[in-house]
Structures are given as structure tokens and as C-alpha cells.
């Protein structure tokens, strides 16, 4: 009986445990299914996260490249900033140098203007001297001719008187007044001969001066023809005008021959032209050479240029200075023979009524004169 009870109790326990186990298993299955579902979701999320992580890695790589590029740009900008700082310092130095240069330029322009005024006065004075000298030579030649005629006449008178004296020597021995008249005539003849000698000496000196002037004139003619031959093509084109006389050689170069409009720097073509000029001027002796700049009536408008050349006076003078410097510093002409000057727009050769006429007035002139101190020494002698 006890055995049955134990068996039943055991069976009951087994069933009870089995029921409990079944419920537990069902619960566990439910949990397993839930976990499996969560696992699948987690796997999907992990896959999404892995993909997003891959995208983030790519984005990080792109950002690193961009950062590197930005760093390089920053380095470049820093270099540019350093250069800009250096440029600012250099600009400040240049501003200071420019100010000093402007002051020096203004002083030189003033000096050149004073020299130009003095030279023009000297030129007029020497022109007048040459004209007066020619008049004196003519007058002395006429005086010499008159004196020679008077001397010849007096000699004839003396000869006639001598013949009369010889013919009537006996009758006039006691005639003191007549003898005194003869003595007076002889004294006058001596005075006239002395005066004639002095006049002849003066005429000889003047002839020397005239010969020297003729020599200057022949050289001027020869040099003028040389310049015409050297620039015959430019003369045909109307770019250069050459005129020469016994007093001067004038070479007029239009603006386009030497410069670009509104600039003071010589063009390559201008340098070639000046080399031709220098080749001729090196053979020119005892001459004074003036380089004269001319502008048109248009005012200086460019604000940068206006700071350096406030008016056409400075502009025209500076063009002449650039030509003189090229002739002396590059082509080795003697600086003592050259003078730079400027006339602004006050000596036009055409009316300022059109751009074409203004382009003709924008020119550079080379004027060649006999050296005045040589002529002056001849006059003193």
C-alpha cells in the first residue's frame, strides 16, 4: 500500500514536474523566439551600423584629406601673408624713395629750366653778335677801299707836286709857305699810310673770323646732309624733319619715333634712332647740342603720372632728359656738349585744333649750334 502511494506520489511529482517543465519549456521557447527575433534585429542593426561605420570611415578619410588640403591652403596663405608683409615694408620704402626722388626731380627740373632760359638768352646774344660782325666786316672792307683810293689820290697829288717842285725849284726856293704845304701833305700821307696799315690789320683779323665762320657753316652743311641721309626713310614717312642753315641744324622727331603716348621711357625703335644720331654727333666738334621736349595742350589726367609730372612743363623736360641720359650714359656722348630743355605746349608747330595736329606738336627736337665760346675767343682776338 505504501508502495502504491509512493508510486502515485512519485508519478504525481513527475507529472507535476513535467507540467511545470512544459510550461517552463514553452516559456523558454517563447523567450528563445523573442531572443532570436531580437538577434535578427540586432544582426540587421549591426549590419546597418557596419555600413554606417564604413560610410563614416570614408567620410572621416574625406575630411582628413580636406583638412590636409585646408592645412596646405593655410600654409600657402601664411606664406602669402608673409610676402604681403614684406611687400608692405618694401612699398613703404619705395614711397619714401619716391618722395625723395620727386623732390630731387623738381629741383633738377628747376635747374634745367633756369639753364634753358640762360641758353636761349646766350643764343640770341650770339646771333646778334654774328650779324654785327658781318656788318663790321662789310663796313671795314668799304672803308679800306675808300682809304686805298684816297691814298692813291694823295700819291698822285704828291707826285704832281714833286714834279712841279722840281720844275720850279729855283723859283720857289724862297717860298716857305709852299714848302710848308708840301711838308704838311707828306705828314698827312704818313698818317694815312699808318691808318691804312691799322685798317689792314683789323681787316685781316676779321677775315680770319669770317674764314672760321665759313668753316663752321661748311661743317653745319655737311653734318646736316649726313643727318638727312641717315634718316631719309623716316623723312619720307613724315616722322622726322631735318632743316639746316649756316646758324644751326634742327632735327624734329615726332612722338612715335621715340616714345609711346603719355610715356617718358624710350621705345626700342627710339633707341635705334638715337644710336644713328649718336654715330653722327660723335664726329661733330665744337658744337653745342640742345635736346628740347615739346608737349600738346592736353593736361595730365592720370593721377599716378600727375604726382610725378604735375604739368606739361615737367613732362616735356623729362622726355628731353631721358634722351640726354641715353645719349650720354649708354652711347657715351660727352655730357658737356648736351643741354636738356622743355617748352611744355607753348611752342606748337600746328594749331591745337585736332588730335592729328596735337600729335605733330608732341615732338622732340635736337638743335645743333656752333660752340659759342669758340666764336667769342675769335671776336676777342
Alpha-helical runs (H) found in 300-344: 303-308, 312-325
CB contact at 8 A, 368 and 248: yes
Q: Cα torsion for 12, 15, 20, 24, to the nearest 10°?
A: 160
Are residue 59 and residue 142 in the same domain, yes or no? no
Mapped onto helix, strand or coil, the DSSP state of residue 341 is: strand
Cβ-Cβ contacts under 8 Å for 365 (sequence gap 6 or more): 250, 251, 252, 253, 290, 291, 292, 294
Alpha carbon of 209 to those of 216, 244, 268: distances in Å? 10, 21, 44
Q: What is the pLDDT of residue 378?
A: 47
Whether residue 188 is found in the same domain as residue 233 = no
pLDDT at residue 161, as a whole number: 75
Once rounded to an integer, what is the mean pLDDT over residues 49-76?
79
Tell whether 112 is covered by a domain: no
How does pLDDT run across 128-172, given as a tens digit for each residue?
777 777 777 677 777 777 877 877 887 787 777 777 767 766 665
Residue 304 has pLDDT above 60, yes or no: yes
Task: Give the mean pLDDT of 317-330.
Answer: 96
Looking at the fold, whether 198 and 155 belong to one and the same domain comes out as yes
Per-residue pLDDT for 215 more than 90? no
pLDDT for the residue numbered 88: 76
User: Which helix H or strand E contains 133, and what residues bound it?
Assistant: helix 2-167
Strand ranges (E), 101-239: none
pLDDT digits (tens, 9 = 90+) for 225-243: 888 888 888 888 888 999 9
The H-or-E segment that residue 294 falls in is strand 287-294
Number of domains the chain is built from: 3
CATH code for position 356: 3.30.1330.60
| Order of strands across the sheet that contains 338-342 | 240-244, 249-254, 363-370, 287-294, 338-342
**184 plus 60 within the same structural domain:** no
- 361 & 249 share domain: yes
pLDDT above 50: residue 267:
yes
Based on the domain organization, do 186 and 88 belong to the same domain? Answer: no
Same domain assignment for residues 226 and 294: yes
Domain that holds residue 246: 120-131+218-380
306-325 mean pLDDT: 93
- 174 confidence band (pLDDT: 50, 70, 90): low
Phi first, then psi, for residue 250 (nearest 5°) are -120, 120
Instruction: Please indicate, yes or no, whether residues 253 and 315 belong to a single structural domain of this protein.
Output: yes
Mean pLDDT, the chain, as a whole number?
80
Residue 190, pLDDT above cutoff 60 = yes
pLDDT at res. 165? 66
- 325 and 266 in a common domain: yes
Long-range contacts of 230-236 (CB under 8 A, 24+ apart): 230/276, 230/277, 230/279, 230/280, 231/273, 231/276, 234/273
Amino acid at each position: 500500500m505504501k508502495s502504491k502511494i509512493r508510486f502515485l506520489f512519485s508519478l504525481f511529482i513527475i507529472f507535476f514536474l513535467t507540467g511545470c517543465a512544459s510550461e517552463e519549456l514553452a516559456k523558454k521557447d517563447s523567450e528563445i523566439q523573442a531572443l532570436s527575433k531580437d538577434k535578427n534585429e540586432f544582426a540587421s542593426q549591426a549590419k546597418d551600423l557596419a555600413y554606417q561605420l564604413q560610410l563614416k570611415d570614408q567620410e572621416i578619410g574625406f575630411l582628413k584629406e580636406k583638412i590636409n588640403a585646408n592645412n596646405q591652403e593655410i600654409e600657402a596663405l601664411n606664406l602669402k601673408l608673409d610676402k604681403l608683409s614684406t611687400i608692405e615694408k618694401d612699398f613703404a620704402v619705395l614711397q619714401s624713395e619716391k618722395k625723395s626722388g620727386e623732390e630731387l626731380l623738381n629741383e633738377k627740373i628747376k635747374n634745367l629750366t633756369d639753364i634753358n632760359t640762360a641758353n636761349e638768352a646766350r643764343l640770341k646774344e650770339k646771333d646778334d653778335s654774328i650779324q654785327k660782325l658781318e656788318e663790321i666786316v662789310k663796313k671795314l672792307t668799304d672803308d679800306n677801299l675808300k682809304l686805298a683810293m684816297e691814298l692813291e689820290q694823295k700819291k698822285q697829288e704828291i707826285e704832281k707836286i714833286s714834279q712841279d717842285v722840281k720844275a720850279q725849284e729855283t723859283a720857289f726856293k724862297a717860298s716857305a709857305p709852299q714848302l710848308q704845304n708840301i711838308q704838311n701833305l707828306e705828314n698827312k700821307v704818313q698818317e694815312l699810310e699808318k691808318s691804312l696799315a691799322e685798317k689792314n690789320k683789323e681787316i685781316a683779323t676779321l677775315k680770319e673770323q669770317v674764314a672760321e665762320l665759313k668753316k663752321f657753316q661748311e661743317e653745319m652743311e655737311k653734318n646736316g646732309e649726313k643727318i638727312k641721309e641717315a634718316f631719309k626713310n623716316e623723312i619720307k614717312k613724315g616722322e622726322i624733319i631735318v632743316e639746316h642753315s649756316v646758324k644751326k641744324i634742327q632735327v624734329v622727331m615726332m612722338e612715335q619715333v621715340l616714345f609711346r603716348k603719355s610715356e617718358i621711357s624710350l621705345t626700342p625703335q627710339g633707341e635705334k634712332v638715337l644710336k644713328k644720331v649718336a654715330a653722327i654727333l660723335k664726329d661733330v666738334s665744337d658744337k653745342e647740342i640742345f635736346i628740347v621736349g615739346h608737349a600738346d595742350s592736353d593736361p595730365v589726367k592720370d593721377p599716378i603720372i600727375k604726382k610725378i609730372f604735375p604739368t606739361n612743363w615737367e613732362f616735356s623736360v623729362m622726355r628731353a632728359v631721358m634722351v640726354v641720359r641715353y645719349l650720354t650714359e649708354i652711347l657715351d656722348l660727352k655730357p658737356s656738349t648736351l643741354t636738356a630743355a622743355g617748352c611744355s605746349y607753348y611752342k606748337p608747330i600746328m594749331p591745337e585744333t585736332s588730335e592729328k595736329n596735337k600729335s605733330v606738336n608732341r615732338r622732340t627736337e635736337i638743335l645743333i649750334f656752333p660752340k659759342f665760346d669758340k666764336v667769342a675767343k675769335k671776336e676777342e682776338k
